[in-house]
Structure 1
Amino acid sequence: MNIIETQNLTKAYKNFTAVEDINLHIKKNSIYGFLGPNGAGKSTTIRMLLGLTAPTKGSFTIKGMNISKNRVKILREIGSLIEAPAFYGNLTGKENLDIIRRILSLPKNSVDDVLELVGLTEFKDRIAKKYSLGMKQRLGLASALIGRPKIIILDEPTNGLDPVGIHEIRKLIRSLPGKFNCTVLVSSHMLSEIELIADDIGILNHGLLLFEGSMNNLKQNAIQKGYNTGNLEEMFISMINEDNKRRKEK
């Protein structure tokens, strides 16, 4: 069963099409890796799914519902981290999360629960402006996970983290569907990162979906096209480069 589906989803501006006719199929209780170089249209797609910008054409459903008719109901079931997380610098990490808790009418223990989940318990009483970049990223992740939503959308969640932090957040993301019976959409520009956590992937370039399927499907696709499948990052780059070359030849 697909929990998120898009139908020819498109976002165009005056002289630029950021996302063009993409059809995503994101399965319930899975991790979907959304891949593409910077500027590929990943963040624009995510913003449409969250109702932050309207599609130029096409549509999408979340849990079978159209966001234009069920916006509040849908968004109550989604936790998200997009772009750089923004917080009140003079409030502590715990106080920032408590604001979100109150908006969502969640129990008080949900703040301590999510702080422990992302490894910030010992820093909960430090004011947010004194957090490191990695700690701010963890706090952003905590704001997405508070209340244990059924759909979690994460845009480049390991930005600013050191290798140990990346490993810990990767392990956490991988555990989420099993722990909380949820679906995770995670975007990245690194195939090697997504390879370790995702069940299915979609590869976007210049707003077009080049591939959707499992990692095994991707490898088979790469073999057919003669790409080097020994190094997945090189395979990903080859796919993007071929698409870029095709565009220039048009």
Structure 2
Amino acid sequence: MNVIETYNLTKRYKDFTAVSNLSLSIPKGTVYGFLGPNGAGKSTTMKMLLGLTRQTEGEFMVDGKTYPKERMQILKEIGSFIEAPAFYGNLSGEENLDIIRRILGLPRSSVDDAFELAGLTQHKKRLARKYSLGMKQRLGLAGALIGRPPILILDEPTNGLDPVGIHEIRTLIRSLPEKYNCTVLVSSHLLSEVELMADEVGILNHGRLLFEGPLEELRRDAASRGYTSDNLEETFLRMIEEDNERSEGKI
């Protein structure tokens, strides 16, 4: 069963097409790695799924619900982390999350639960402006996790983290489907990072889907194209490079 499905999803800004005829199928209970270089259309796609920007054409369904008809029901099922999370610097981390909790109508215990899931419990009383970049990323993740939503949409959640922080967030994301039966859509521009946590991947370039499927299928696809299938990062870069050349009419 697919939790998220898009059908020819397209977003245009005047003469620029950010996302073009995108058809995704994201299975329930998986970590789906959404890959592409900066500017590929990943964030725009995620914003459309969250109703933050309206598609120009196409449609999508989330957990069997259609947008925009069932927009509010869709949003109640999704926890999200889009771009750099914004917080009130003069409030503690706990107070910031409590604002989200009250908006969502969740019990008080959900704040402590989210802090524990994000590994931030010992810092919840600290003012948000005194958080390090890594702690702010974790606080954003805690905000997405509050109430344990069945679907998580995470846009580059390891940005700005040191190697230890990246490993911890990656391990957390990898564990989430098994921990509480959720589905995670996580974007990155690094296949080497996604490879360590994703079950399936979708590769985007210039708003177009170049590949979708399990990592093993990507390896087979790489071998059939004559790429080095034991180095998926190289495969990813070659796919992007060939698509760019095709777009420029070089091949």
Same fold? TM cut 0.5: yes
The aligned residue for residue 215 of structure 1 is 215
The aligned residue for residue 103 of structure 1 is 103
The aligned residue for residue 72 of structure 2 is 72
CA distance in structure 2 between the aligned counterparts of 1:153 and 1:12, rounded to whole angstroms: 22
Secondary structure in structure 1 of the residue aligned to 2:70: helix
Q: How does 1:79-98 map to 2 (within 5 A)?
A: 79-98=79-98
Secondary structure in structure 1 of the residue aligned to 2:83: coil
- Structure 2: runs of 5 or more not aligned: none
Q: How does 1:61-210 map to 2 (within 5 A)?
A: 61-210=61-210
* 1:230 Cα deviation after fit: 2.4
**Percent identity of the aligned residues?**
69
CA distance in structure 2 between the aligned counterparts of 1:49 and 1:162, rounded to whole angstroms: 29
CA distance in structure 2 between the aligned counterparts of 1:195 and 1:230, rounded to whole angstroms: 12
* 1:128 Cα deviation after fit: 0.5
- Structure 1: runs of 5 or more not aligned: none
CA distance in structure 2 between the aligned counterparts of 1:229 and 1:136, rounded to whole angstroms: 36
CA distance in structure 2 between the aligned counterparts of 1:48 and 1:223, rounded to whole angstroms: 34
Q: Which runs of 4+ in 1 moved over 3 A?
A: none
Aligned letter for 1:238?
R
Aligned letter for 1:97?
L
Aligned letter for 2:96?
N
Secondary structure in structure 1 of the residue aligned to 2:125: coil
Secondary structure in structure 1 of the residue aligned to 2:101: helix
* 1:109 Cα deviation after fit: 1.1
TM-score of the aligned structures, taking structure 1 as reference length: 0.98
CA distance in structure 2 between the aligned counterparts of 1:137 and 1:67, rounded to whole angstroms: 29
Secondary structure in structure 2 of the residue aligned to 1:249: coil
CA distance in structure 1 between the aligned counterparts of 2:150 and 2:194, rounded to whole angstroms: 20
CA distance in structure 2 between the aligned counterparts of 1:14 and 1:104, rounded to whole angstroms: 35
The aligned residue for residue 235 of structure 1 is 235
CA distance in structure 2 between the aligned counterparts of 1:233 and 1:30, rounded to whole angstroms: 21
Contact kept in structure 1, 2:38 and 2:189, CA below 8 Å: yes
Aligned letter for 1:214?
P
Aligned letter for 1:231?
N
Aligned letter for 2:103?
I
| TM-superposition CA deviations, 1:66-123 (whole Å, max 9, x none) | 1211111110110000000000010000000000011111111111111111111111
Secondary structure in structure 2 of the residue aligned to 1:148: coil
Aligned residues: 250
CA distance in structure 1 between the aligned counterparts of 2:22 and 2:101, rounded to whole angstroms: 34
| TM-superposition CA deviations, 1:33-72 (whole Å, max 9, x none) | 0000000000000000000111100000011111211111
CA distance in structure 2 between the aligned counterparts of 1:225 and 1:43, rounded to whole angstroms: 29
* 1:161 Cα deviation after fit: 1.1
CA distance in structure 2 between the aligned counterparts of 1:83 and 1:180, rounded to whole angstroms: 24
Contact kept in structure 1, 2:93 and 2:139, CA below 8 Å: yes
CA distance in structure 1 between the aligned counterparts of 2:14 and 2:73, rounded to whole angstroms: 32
CA distance in structure 2 between the aligned counterparts of 1:233 and 1:28, rounded to whole angstroms: 26
Contact kept in structure 1, 2:30 and 2:184, CA below 8 Å: yes
CA distance in structure 2 between the aligned counterparts of 1:8 and 1:232, rounded to whole angstroms: 27
* 1:234 Cα deviation after fit: 1.1
Pairwise CA RMSD = 0.8
